Structure formats: structure tokens, C-alpha cells
Structure 1
């Protein structure tokens, strides 16, 4: 993953689900077509969009993961942060693609999504690096009605969670439960525990609609056994965004309606951030990260220190044409964002290495000052 002074673009994978029985029963037609061998999708007869990857309804979960996601996971072992986030209207396949409802009983099924596949690959890659020591921690949160909720907190009295910005480590979440994990099974158990606590509800568009944005984070500390100066600290964010909604279609009332309003507000703020970052005419201008909890938490992932992949999920049904077009345009803007990923060297190790270099330089200067012979006290 080469670094570039101008930044590394956010990568976008478009994923189109098949028509569902409800849509075919209502006589819906496909409004999207795909260009064989090209990362292009065509809306209607003429409007084409190009992305880094395009996955039509026939593409299985494994291909999506191997093609678009696995390079990010391998980059973690070089010290880079990474983010995978799924965006799209409600019922477009985000939670399916991310595997956010995964349980251990599904381990060998082809329908397994991104998060459990990431966990599996992460520990396989770790196992191959016997000359490194690793410490892995996981956290899981949801943003529900603009409140941050800890999905791994077993106590009824959840602690106050706040967002802080560290000049060296970026965005930090204070008060969030972090659990040490040593194997894939322990990590999956944390995922399952969090999934059981997530807020879901039924709407006319989706019987199991996510009513919150969820972020599953794995923090990795890695140190080379024979070189104390070689150590990295990096983060992997796996984000399942709640779907954008139209009340006319979801027929939401009461709590569902309030949730939908807050979901749309968070996504609007996210859209504003993406627009600000992707506008060539506003480079270096104000970016409204602080307008919502979601955009604050994704500040490193969008325009910051991370390799980022957006999986834009769409419905092919002509009844969803307007929402699909919105997602395609949203994803097109996201491709214009430039991130600035760096190798996240452990600050203490980096400082120690720098001090050792300074000592060596001073010793050379001292040697030169004494005609090539160091004083006895050195």
C-alpha cells in the first residue's frame, strides 16, 4: 500500500442485491444493468457510474471479501488503520454484506459476511507471524437516537461515553468497554454479544431493520520479538450504517418514526462531510465533523489516517430507483475523498528509537571534537 503525498482515495465497492420475492410479486423490474468485465453500472438506458469494484446480484460473499476487503486486513500487519463501512437505503443488504447478524453456527455457510471473514483472516495472518507478539482488543458500539451505547457492557448501569481527539492517536472513545481477545472464537463471541444488544425493529420496508449505526472495532498492538523499536498500534473499524428511510415507504410511526428521523439526520451529516471532503474547490476548507456523533467517530476514516472501503448497497428494483440513484451519487462523491494513511508506529518505541539516534549522533560529534578518541568517561 504505497503512500502518496496527495493522499489515498476512499475505495468504493458497489453491491447490488437480487430482486426479493416481494418485489417480483409486485411486478418490479430491474432498473440497473452491468458492464461485463468493467466496474460499471448503468441506470436505465444511459446513466453510467464507475467505481473501484462493482458486484452484480450473482456475486457471492466470498468474492466480495477476497476482492475488496482482504487487502485492507493484510495492510493492518504493516501498521495501517483500516475502515470498511456499508451504506445504502433500508433493506438494500448492508447488514447481510457486513455479516452483522452472524452466529458461530453459520461458520461454514457461503452467506457469511465481511466481519466474521475479517476475524478469520486476521487470526490466520497473525498465526503466520510467529516472530511478533500481538495484543488484540475489541469494542462494539451503536449510535441510537444520537446516543452512543456500549454493546459489550453487561452492566445495567452503562458508563458515560465521550469522544476525545488525541493528537497522536486520533479519535478516542472514553468509557467504552474493550475486551482482550486471543483467538477468532473469542472475537466472534464479542460480535454475537453485541449483536444481541443491537436495536432492531420492523418497518414496511424491512422486518429486521437496524435502528442504529453500529461500529465493531478491533485494536491491534504488534511488537517484533527481536526488535523492541519495531512496534505498531492500529485500528480496524467495521461499520454497519442504518439505512436511509422515507416515511412514506417505511410507514413508520411512534418510536420507529423518531428513529428514522435520527437515522436520516446522521446520514445527512455524513453526506455533508463527504461532500466537503470530495469537493475539489474546497480543499482545506471547513469539514463539519462535529455535526453528529457518527461523523465524529468516522473522522479518521474519512479524510484522515485510514485506508477506507465503502460498500454501497443498492436495490435493483425500479420501485427504488430514486433511492438507488441517491446511493450511487453518494458513493461517487465518496470516491473523491483523499485519506492520508500512515504507518502507526508505537509512540513510545518511536521516541526511544529517536533518542538512541540522537545519542549516536552526539557520540560522533564528541568523537570528532576529541580528535577521534572518546574521553574516558564515555
Structure 2
């Protein structure tokens, strides 16, 4: 067919090291989070293309992974803690309090991966997990009952990721023996107290989307087929949201799926968002690769509305103190 051209900020080949991907993509978002902006990294692509490897969202403690193999999540979390501990510039004298949450969207149900299972694992090895409902609070998406675990170090954050990963839905398909059958969102929520009393409250979301491919290629049947239908439904809804935002529609269909509700702030909302399109170099995967590139190319056109995430009470106090100082100077 005809040649197609796509524009991206970076292109990494199969020889790219994990640190190169991190430095070329996600590292810049650390700076933005420490200035108070919400940030999101999404990994999108077909099953087996390296999404989970790139993100580093596997159920293995980072201490057990060779440094060269560490993905975006452990590298990002480590740099956030290191930057605050270093105390350079605006971060001099800053205090950091962080907590982590981990959820999955499985068959249009939102599961809290950090809550104990309601029922023990059945014969298929999948424990039954508690479901959460999406609520909207003061214009922001909320999940009442969501477990938030305090983390005081990168190691503690990775232990939370490891705990949650053990509950995540996986299953064998013809394309991947341990295919992720759910969309997963690992979130690090930060409270950063700066000198002078300013308190920033940004979040960093790491999104590992389930594989995007036709059921025929996965050889799926039974539960795997039903999972694939729901995965593609969520990804289709995400594609429709991306299209509506690119074309500046008055109505954006965020409510068409749980996935798009959860990503509402990241897509067209209040966050710096990076999409990593993972593709296969194989000729046999050309159609899936083309679809992934089209999807990511559209997402690149979205413009978010960025605001610093700040504790409203502390923001008001800081504003009043500034007014008092101005009056004293007068």
C-alpha cells in the first residue's frame, strides 16, 4: 500500500536501553510533578510488544531486577525521592509525603489491587477482588474506598507495585503466555511542603493498557475471548475520546467506559500526559503496528488544560500571607 508518515517526539529501536527510554520520555515529567502538575504515562500497543516491560509494572521487587532492566515506574519514583532529598533550588528544605494506589479495569469492573481478595483464588488461579465505583467530587474523579498506602522510599513504592501485580488478571493467549487481561493504573500521590508554607499535591499516574488486537490473532475462546471483547471495548471508547478531543467536539464521551472515566483528567484535563506506543518489528504484526501508530498520532494532538495541584486551604493561607506582606511593605 501507500507509505504513511507519522510524527512522534522520539523513536526508539529494539536496541534501546531502558534508561534511554526513561530519559527520552518520562524524565521530563518528574520536573513537572515537582512543580505541582499532575502527570500521566500511558503505554499502548498490541500484546507482547513490550508495554509492561517498558513501564516496569511486573510483580517483581525492583531489588530483584538488574538495574539495566528497570522500567519507567521504578526509575521515576526513585528520581522523585532523590530530587526532594537533594533539596536543590525550590526544593531546598522541602518535605515529601507520598502514597500509592493500584487499580485495574477488568471486564468493565474497577478492582483495587491492594485490597485483600473477597474470595481466595479459584481453580483458574484468579482471586475475586472488591470492585470500586467511580464518583465525581468537585469536578474531579474519585474512587471511594480506594486503598492508599503510605510510601517513604522507592523500595516501599515498588513493594506496593509488586503486591498489587500479584492480583492483576493475566491469562495465556496465542500471542503472549502471560498476557495482561486488564488495564492497570498505578498512582503515586504526592504532598510536597515547600519553604514558605506552600503545599503541592500532584499525582503521577502510570497506565499499562491491555493489548490491542483482533480476537482472531489471539486464538482466544471462552473467558479469554470475553476478556478480549471488554479490552477492545475500553480501547475503542478511549479512541473515541481521543478523536472527540482532537476534533474539538462539544461533547467528549468519557462516560462510555470505566477506563475513559478514570483517564478523564489525563486526556483533555489537568495533567501532562505522555503516550508510549509499543510496536512489534515483525511483518506479521504490520496491521496491528499501523493501528497503534494511528492511535498514538491522534493522541499527540490533544491539548490539556494545566493547573498546579495545590492544597486549597494552604493555597488560600499563602495568598492571605502574601497580601499581608504587601500591606506591610506599603
TM-score, normalised with respect to structure 1: 0.79
Per-residue CA shift, 1:81-114, capped at 9, x if unaligned? 1000000111111111111114334443422211
Q: Which residue of 2 aligns with 1:290?
A: 255
Shift of 1:295: 0.2
Aligned with 1:70 (options 12, 22, 27): 27
CA RMSD of aligned residues (A): 2.1
How is 1:117-196 mapped onto 2 (pairs within 5 angstroms)?
117-129=75-87, 131-154=93-116, 156=118, 160-167=131-138, 170-196=140-166
Worse-matched range after superposition: 183-192 or 97-106: 97-106
Unaligned runs of 5+ in 2: 120-128
How is 1:191-340 mapped onto 2 (pairs within 5 angstroms)?
191-224=161-194, 226-228=195-197, 230-279=198-247, 283=248, 285-340=250-305
Unaligned runs of 5+ in 1: 1-43, 368-378
Shift of 1:351: 1.6
Shift of 1:116: 1.3
Residue aligned with 2:281, SS: coil
Count of residues in Structure 1 that have an aligned counterpart in Structure 2:
316
Q: Please give the alpha-carbon distance, in whole angstroms, between the structure 2 residues aligned to 1:60 and 1:45.
A: 32
Contact 1:159–1:175 (8 Å) recurs in 2: no
Shift of 1:164: 2.2
Per-residue CA shift, 1:178-228, capped at 9, x if unaligned? 00010111111101001111110000011110000000000000112x412
How is 1:49-128 mapped onto 2 (pairs within 5 angstroms)?
49-101=6-58, 102-128=60-86
- Seen in structure 2, the aligned counterparts of structure 1 residues 118 and 359 have a Cα distance that, compared at 3 Å, is closer
Q: Please give the alpha-carbon distance, in whole angstroms, between the structure 2 residues aligned to 1:302 and 1:325.
A: 22
Greater strand share, structure number: 1
